[in-house]
Amino acid sequence: MNMKMTVMDHGDVVDHYHEVLAEMKAAEAAAGRPAGAVRLVAVSKTHPAERIRPVLAAGHRLFGENRVQEAASKFPALRQDYPDLELHLIGPLQTNKVREAVALFDVIESLDRLKLAAALAAEFKRQDRCPALYVQVNTGAEPQKAGIAPSEVDAFLTACRDDYGLAPVGLMCIPPADDDPAPHFALLRDLAERHGLAVLSMGMSGDYAAAVRAGATHVRIGTAIFGVRS
């Protein structure tokens, strides 16, 4: 492979990364929030490691992937070069992938059912490793979408704690594509406040400024950094 060519090919990614950071900073200021209040999860799914490396070289360390297998094929090597890299799982997790996910990810943002909570609890013990957990909430009550219904969050958190000894630290949502995201973000923030959860993962390439205004602590941004996925 022609290394020089590779570097040139992926230079746009770093420009986009800096643009996103600037826009996040502007949104924080506009919302009266301190600079750095919101963390950027750079969503690198479908993009090869060579496209991720320039962002690492630019100083970024927090990434999101939605498939265990794909992340396992890219990130162990990247982590060898950048041991302080932090990796979030943002996609659905099947119980047969829990072992690999617990070994690989630092945060699992997609806790969405008790069967998964049980499998995670068992695996945390086995590996003596406890990635942080966020509960995915289906704020739009979409039947095809993963996540706990807003009305079930209370019971779900109680069961996680009492039955499995798990203490999720945050909530995550993906608003319906055609809706105004603001009410979904507000709902997630209210749920987090009510349950004393500090972390709010919401906002993607198309709506992260609104998410910053609504109180997001983490935004998950793919396309605006890495470009359109094929």
Q: How many angstroms separate the CA atoms of 143 and 90, rounded?
A: 19
174, 192, 199, 212: which one binds ligand PLP (CB under 6 A): 174
Q: Which stretch binds ligand PLP (CB under 6 A): 78-86, 94-102, 155-163, 204-212?
A: 204-212
Nearest-approach distance from CB 46 to ligand PLP, in angstroms: 9
Q: How many angstroms separate the CA atoms of 91 and 35, rounded?
A: 28
Q: Does 46 bind ligand PLP (CB under 6 A)?
A: no
> What is the phi/psi pair of residue 139, to 5°?
-65, -25
Residues 55-94, one symbol each (x = binds ligand PLP by CB under 6 A, - = not), give -----------x-----------------------xx---
Q: Does 45 bind ligand PLP (CB under 6 A)?
A: yes
Contact 198/156 with Cβ under 8 angstroms? no
Beta bridge partners of 172: 136, 201
3-state secondary structure of 124: helix
DSSP 177-200: TTS-HHHHHHHHHHHHHHTT--EE
Q: How many angstroms separate the CA atoms of 212 and 208, rounded?
A: 6
Q: Does 148 bind ligand PLP (CB under 6 A)?
A: no
Q: Does 16 bind ligand PLP (CB under 6 A)?
A: no
Q: Does 222 bind ligand PLP (CB under 6 A)?
A: yes
Instruction: List residues binding ligand PLP (CB under 6 A).
Output: 43, 45, 66, 90-91, 174, 204-206, 220-224
